[in-house]
Amino acid sequence: MNEISAPRPNNLDAFWMPFTDNKYFKANPRLLYRAEGMSYFTPEGREVLDGTAGLWCCNAGHGRREITEAIQKQAALMDFAPTFNLGHPIAFEAAARVAEMTPDGIDRVFFTNSGSESADTALKIALAYHKARRESSRVRLVGRERGYHGVGFGGITVGGIGPNRKQFGALLPYADHLPHTHLPAKNAFSRGQPEHGAELADALEAIVALHGAETIAAVMVEPVAGSTGVLVPPLGYLQRLRELCTRHGILLIFDEVITGFGRLGTNFGSERLGVTPDIITMAKGLTNAAVPMGAVATSQTVYDTIVDGVAGGIELFHGYTYSGHPLASAAAVATLELHRAEDLPGRARAIEPYWQDAIHSLKDRPNVIDTRDFGLIGGIELAPRPGKPGTRAMDIFRRCFDAGVLVRVTGDIVALSPPLIVERPHVDRLIGTLADAITAEA
Ligand code: PLP
């Protein structure tokens, strides 16, 4: 079907859209209909350059034939099979592929269906680990201000984005938060990792002093905080967090839902940052988002502790009907093969200097108060309009979309994360359109 005959919904009422101003959208709908390579296309056939890899997830670009065919083939062979006390080959293959990409020693893989489920799964694994070691008092979970770990109860408990928590009451009690790492007075316009702020990790010592290490199960952070608007870890910060967690017997969980699968120029962010956590959560790029899937990879120690901790029977009372779903597994295997064959992390690394220059070229545009980058991520922070926070960036988002470029905004920050197949002319168009929109909204 081509764009001319693309179906247009005549009723937008029923779909309660996520994280959306439903009233505004339904009065001013912006629809996407088709996608290919670096671009989306609207039902009218207008091309929109994708500056955000969908939602940080289509790292290999859109409409990859290899992934589509793998899904089709698997759907025809076997649509679904349970993974509770049964198995199917493609799920084991997908897990082995993931384990090949994760840092050495992090090679046991639990499948979920999303980043949110991965966050909750990782936190539950951390609790089960301490219980298996007869340290049942370790139930406190530590996150970070401005952190995003999806929308499950575990994820919002450690998450640190106010509106995502406040609407839902008191939540789980045993959580504490490290300070965020955004220090604009010292680090504004940093290229790559900012210089200042490693000492912010020491706040974990204060939490330990307050509650006792024997009450703390895990610390969960994003290596690069994405959803809050691109906060790059200061040099040495994650190393310090690793040391403190090890010293106090606390598991360190990296939420790599956006930094996994090449975004920082390496398979996982841990590799680029030189810090290995105990548990890594992932989703999005795992299947190139063609079928929902997430995963949690743990160290062998964590796995062995839980699995060897019981004499027989089920070891972990956790799992999803769709853990290791055949279609998702097929999509993952095909996606990870594309990553290997096309060296997508290498492509990201190669274009990173050009990308970095392009992001920082926006620093003199009106109202730009910070530009930041790391890997193939860019953040442009704007001064809010007096009394109307968020409206400037939202108007820029709409202006860019209407000019044929998709960007993402969060508060007054524009966050960019193009597919890893991006080329210089795409970068020029993306940044050029954004620059014009920023100027127009001055
Ligand atoms: N964790 C991080 C770091 C994320 O960026 C996201 C989504 O953006 C999630 C978790 C949640 O993933 P999902 O929306 O697939 O549940």
Question: pLDDT, tens digit, for every residue of 267-303?
Answer: 999 999 999 999 999 999 999 999 999 999 999 999 9
CA of 257 to the centre of ligand 1 (A): 6
Q: Distance, CA 153 to ligand 1 centroid (Å)?
A: 13
* Domain ranges across the chain: 3-60+343-440, 68-341
Query: What is the number of the ligand 1 atom nearest to the C-alpha of 147?
Result: 3
In the reported structure, the alpha carbon of residue 115 is separated from the centroid of ligand 1 by a whole-number distance in angstroms of 4
CATH of domain 68-341: 3.40.640.10
Atom of ligand 1 nearest to the CA of 256: 3
The pLDDT value given to residue 2: 56
Burial of 117 (0-12, 13-18, 19+ CB in 10 A): buried
CA of 288 to the centre of ligand 1 (A): 14
Q: According to the model, what pLDDT value does residue 5 have?
A: 64
CATH code that applies to domain 3-60+343-440: 3.90.1150.10
If one residue of 148, 158, 408 were mutated to test the ligand 1 pocket, choosing by the most ligand atoms within 8 A of its CB, it would be 148
Instruction: Give per-residue pLDDT as tens, 216-264.
Output: 999 999 999 999 999 999 999 999 999 999 999 999 999 999 999 999 9
CA of 10 to the centre of ligand 1 (A): 31
Read off the DSSP letter of residue 364: G
**Rounded Cα distance, 8 and 324, in Å:** 34
**Residue from 123, 258, 322 whose mutation best tests the ligand 1 pocket (most atoms within 8 A of CB):** 258
Query: Is the separation of the CB atoms in 375 and 417 below 8 Å?
Result: no
State residue 9's pLDDT score: 82
pLDDT at 10: 78
Q: What is the pLDDT of residues 382-427, one digit of tens each?
A: 999 999 999 999 999 999 999 999 999 999 999 999 999 999 999 9
Ligand 1 atom closest to Cα of 292?
A: 15
Parallel, antiparallel, or unpaired for β 377-382 and 368-374? antiparallel
pTM above 0.90, yes or no: yes
Pocket test for ligand 1, best of 123, 146, 257 (most atoms within 8 A of CB): 257
Ligand 1: residues within 6 Å at CB?
114-116, 119, 148-150, 222, 226-227, 255, 257-258, 283
Assess contact for 142 and 207: CB atoms under 8 A: yes
Residues in the chain predicted with pLDDT less than 50, given as ranges, are: none
Please give the pLDDT value at position 81.
97
Pocket test for ligand 1, best of 20, 227, 408 (most atoms within 8 A of CB): 227
Q: Kindly provide the residue ranges of all beta strands, DSSP E only, lying in 256-411, ordered along the sequence.
A: 279-282, 294-299, 368-374, 377-382, 405-406, 408-410
Distance 341 CA to ligand 1 centre (A): 26
Q: Which two tokens stand for residue 163?
A: 């509106």
Nearest CA to ligand 1 atom 1: 149
**Ligand 1 centroid distance, CA of 280 (Å):** 13
Can you tell me the distance from the alpha carbon of 302 to that of 180, in angstroms, rounded to the nearest whole number?
Answer: 27
| 267 CB burial (10 A radius; 0-12, 13-18, 19+) | buried
C-alpha distances in Å from residue 426, one per residue of 141, 288, 351, 405, 433: 41, 20, 11, 10, 11
The CA 256 to ligand 1 mean position distance, Å, reads: 9
